[in-house]
Structure 1
Amino acid sequence: MDKVKVVAKTLLLTMVLLVVATLPLQIAIIITSLISMFDVSHITLYQPLAFALGLMGEGFVLFVLRQEFKGDKARLQQVMPFDQKGALIRYGTGYVLGTITFALLWGIAVLGKAFRVTVTWENSAWLFFVLFLVGFGIQGMVEEVIFRGYLQGKLTKELSQSKAILISALAFAVAHLGNGGISFLGFLNLTFFGVLMSLFRIYTGDLWLAGAFHSAWNFAEGPLFGTPVSGIVGTNVVLGSQSVAAHPLLNGGNFGIEASLLTFGGFILLIAFTYYLGQNYAKKSNRIEKII
């Protein structure tokens, strides 16, 4: 019963952290809506600017957690594991891997005629490109700190690694239930995404790889290739990809490619490959000891 209470409390605090993290974005959206009532002509400038700044504002959670655990290095390492040794290599590897993974899935969908692709890039778009690059970089890392750092880290102290992985992955998917266009397949794929990120954390021992992969995936999803980012639209900068209604299993419909059967298969393969590599080549102290 004590474990149940601890798990419930940890889940509740995780959701509180998520609310705090998304608060700057919500405020930015409200302000943008108010401004657009008086100046409709510049709405295409205000909306992406507000969204990018809102994403950056999520970094406040990192400050909150660091302040909360700064007096206890062991607990800080538990919820915010960031090993400085080899950090650049792991972050770079994660970012390249996240970008390539999304690009491959998107490319297959395009070959299957699931998207109508247009070039939306303009010379004046450099500002939005950089702001989204930084914004999604912060947002992806913050979500990993919340779900794979704080939630998974704390649950691992009370439960087996496998149970901690499953709960953190499901909580991550549940957090997206309010997003537009969410479907059962989208929910399932987000759960698998959470499992994959959890494995990255366990086998590397920190969050650099997971945070970078998550950031790169979202940046490629929106600003680079112009698809919905978990149901959120309006972040395209380089390309615009309009979903073809006849191919929802390839493009995921309104939620985006994360709700596609294509992504389902891709995540299953990545999870299996990561598990194989991790269990055979990661440090013994970073391997999963039992499945149940």
Structure 2
Amino acid sequence: MNGAFAREPTLWRRILQSPFTRLVLLGGPVFVLMVASNTLMEYFKAAPLKSIAVAAGLAAIATAFYVGYARWIERRPVDELSLSGAGREWATGLLVGAGLYSACVMILIAFGMYRIEGLNPWTFVIPAVAMALSSGVFEELIFRGVLFRCVEDIFGSWISLAVSALVFGLVHLANPAGTLLGAIYISIEAGLLLAAAYMLTRRLWLSIGFHMAWNYTQSAIFSGIVSGNAPEPGLIRSNIKGPDLLTGGSFGLESSLIAFALCTATGVVMLILAVRRGRIVPPLWRRTG
């Protein structure tokens, strides 16, 4: 093993490496960068390419900060962001995310609740790139890279799964049309799925890909409402009419039984695979007992 990682850390470094300190000193700056990204994306809303550049730039800074903290403060290899196999896992996440959302829409079409009225120019798919990039990178760094790992270090995988999923869902209450039901749905369907993706691979690329593709497909392709935010026109001009239980109402398709069933089932499958592959971390007291 590299001597830099094996050396006994000093007291101040042990404090900086502790889960509670990491939540603040690592999660805090990444959160601030996410807020800055969202603010600047809104400012450059009329100039999509600038908005994409801002989102990409700040996401790169946040990732570099995360990697730097892990290597120089925590003194560990950053396996969760290793580039080996990253493209394959990210692409798999893209396919799963886009496929799941498309399947939800196909079910609505079969029920006659989603009607395609025409197509907008292809350029309508560009603006959502910034949103998908920002949400996919920042939220996965914060909720799976920081929060999940910090809680898991002490309480193990199962409690970390519950905590990170609950927090992930509840923060969506801050969205313009956020609802408690929508937050609960996201906690279970997305919180479980995204955490399971991390647990299965012990890397962030699969969850980043899924997160980006779901949000992008929802907005840029099907012109859907993303987690209670104001809807933006995408490639497909659509008309959605039906009970909120199936369409998600003002919160978007995430708050529907259809998305709940498909995403939760996918998350459970990945969770089972993670258990079978021995990817579950026990609580600290069982590791040291």
2:178 equivalent to 1:188? no
List gaps (5 residues or longer) in structure 2. Answer: 1-17
Look up the match of 2:84. Answer: 85
> Which aligned pairs between 1:9-158 and structure 2 lie closer than 5 A?
10=23, 14=27, 17-29=30-42, 31=43, 46=46, 52=52, 55-56=55-56, 58-59=58-59, 60-72=61-73, 74-75=75-76, 77=78, 81-123=80-122, 125=123, 129-130=125-126, 132-133=128-129, 135-158=131-154
2:207 equivalent to 1:203? no
Relative to structure 1, the CA distance from residue 288 to residue 104 in structure 2 (aligned partners, 3 Å threshold; closer, same or farther) is farther
Say which is worse superposed, 85-94 or 8-17, in terms of deviation: 8-17
Of the three residues 174, 177, 181, the one matched with 2:173 is 177
Tell whether the 8 Å contact from 1:22 to 1:58 is kept in structure 2 after alignment. no
Shift in Å, 1:109: 1.6
Amino acid at match of 1:237: G
Of the three residues 241, 245, 250, the one matched with 1:249 is 245
Cα deviation per residue 1:122-162 (whole Å; 9 max; x = unaligned)?
15x1xx53453365134312211111001111221121211
Shift in Å, 1:105: 0.8
Relative to structure 1, the CA distance from residue 243 to residue 103 in structure 2 (aligned partners, 3 Å threshold; closer, same or farther) is same
Tell whether the 8 Å contact from 1:21 to 1:57 is kept in structure 2 after alignment. no
Once residues 120 and 233 of structure 1 are traced to their aligned partners in structure 2, the CA distance between those partners, rounded to angstroms, is: 20
List gaps (5 residues or longer) in structure 1. Answer: 33-44
- Matched length: 266
Tell whether the 8 Å contact from 1:132 to 1:223 is kept in structure 2 after alignment. yes
- Equivalent position SS for 2:46: helix
Amino acid at match of 2:230: V
- Equivalent position SS for 1:84: coil
Once residues 260 and 47 of structure 1 are traced to their aligned partners in structure 2, the CA distance between those partners, rounded to angstroms, is: 33
Shift in Å, 1:6: 5.8
Look up the match of 1:287. Answer: 280
Look up the match of 1:41. Answer: none
Once residues 133 and 168 of structure 1 are traced to their aligned partners in structure 2, the CA distance between those partners, rounded to angstroms, is: 25
Amino acid at match of 2:217: A
Look up the match of 1:39. Answer: none
Say which is worse superposed, 20-29 or 218-227, in terms of deviation: 20-29
Amino acid at match of 1:86: G
Say which is worse superposed, 67-76 or 208-217, in terms of deviation: 67-76
Once residues 156 and 280 of structure 2 are traced to their aligned partners in structure 1, the CA distance between those partners, rounded to angstroms, is: 12
Once residues 25 and 257 of structure 2 are traced to their aligned partners in structure 1, the CA distance between those partners, rounded to angstroms, is: 31
Once residues 117 and 150 of structure 1 are traced to their aligned partners in structure 2, the CA distance between those partners, rounded to angstroms, is: 40
Shift in Å, 1:276: 2.2
Relative to structure 1, the CA distance from residue 140 to residue 155 in structure 2 (aligned partners, 3 Å threshold; closer, same or farther) is same
Question: Please, what TM-score do these two structures have when normalized by structure 2?
Answer: 0.79
Look up the match of 1:168. Answer: 164
Amino acid at match of 2:240: S
Once residues 241 and 74 of structure 1 are traced to their aligned partners in structure 2, the CA distance between those partners, rounded to angstroms, is: 51
Say which is worse superposed, 132-141 or 142-151, in terms of deviation: 132-141
Look up the match of 1:38. Answer: none
Question: Please, what TM-score do these two structures have when normalized by structure 1?
Answer: 0.78
Once residues 81 and 67 of structure 1 are traced to their aligned partners in structure 2, the CA distance between those partners, rounded to angstroms, is: 13
Quick one: percent identity of the two aligned structures?
Answer: 22
Shift in Å, 1:163: 1.1
Shift in Å, 1:120: 3.6
- Equivalent position SS for 1:158: helix
Relative to structure 1, the CA distance from residue 267 to residue 234 in structure 2 (aligned partners, 3 Å threshold; closer, same or farther) is closer
Look up the match of 2:268. Answer: 272
Tell whether the 8 Å contact from 2:223 to 2:233 is kept in structure 1 after alignment. yes
Once residues 238 and 244 of structure 2 are traced to their aligned partners in structure 1, the CA distance between those partners, rounded to angstroms, is: 13
Relative to structure 1, the CA distance from residue 189 to residue 76 in structure 2 (aligned partners, 3 Å threshold; closer, same or farther) is farther
Once residues 11 and 242 of structure 1 are traced to their aligned partners in structure 2, the CA distance between those partners, rounded to angstroms, is: 44
Amino acid at match of 1:139: S
Relative to structure 1, the CA distance from residue 112 to residue 48 in structure 2 (aligned partners, 3 Å threshold; closer, same or farther) is farther
Shift in Å, 1:247: 1.8
Amino acid at match of 1:247: P
Aligned CA-pair RMSD:
3.0
Once residues 65 and 265 of structure 1 are traced to their aligned partners in structure 2, the CA distance between those partners, rounded to angstroms, is: 34
Relative to structure 1, the CA distance from residue 169 to residue 16 in structure 2 (aligned partners, 3 Å threshold; closer, same or farther) is farther
Amino acid at match of 2:30: L
Relative to structure 1, the CA distance from residue 230 to residue 165 in structure 2 (aligned partners, 3 Å threshold; closer, same or farther) is same
Say which is worse superposed, 85-94 or 204-213, in terms of deviation: 85-94
